[in-house]
Amino acid sequence: MRQAGDWLESRHPGLAVYLLVLEANAPARRFYERLGGRNAATFDNETHGGAVVRSCRYVWPRGQALTAV
């Protein structure tokens, strides 16, 4: 995550960062929360295979926030 934060901040300084995680994936959600991520939205999301799953959008204020963890 630090490398991703460095890369994002070097190419898109100051921009917010987000990723999607399945709502049912509690371990991953706890991991992102420990990294300072905030669940900004939970919604139905259609996968490439056509299944509809509940997803959460975890956000950080900028890529640099990931480098501090």
Average pLDDT over residues 2-16: 89
pTM for this entry: 0.86
Confidence of residue 65 (pLDDT cuts 50, 70, 90): confident
Q: What is the dihedral of CA 27, 28, 34, 37, to 10 degrees?
A: -140
Confidence of residue 40 (pLDDT cuts 50, 70, 90): very high
Please give the pLDDT value at position 24: 97
Q: What 3-state class would DSSP assign to 58?
A: strand
**At residue 64, does pLDDT exceed 90?**
no
C-alpha span between 69 and 36 (Å, rounded): 8
**At residue 67, does pLDDT exceed 80?**
no
Full strand arrangement of the beta sheet holding 52-60: 17-22, 52-60, 38-46
Domains of the chain, first to last: 2-67 (3.40.630.30)
Q: How far separated are the first and last CA of the chain, in Å rounded? A: 8
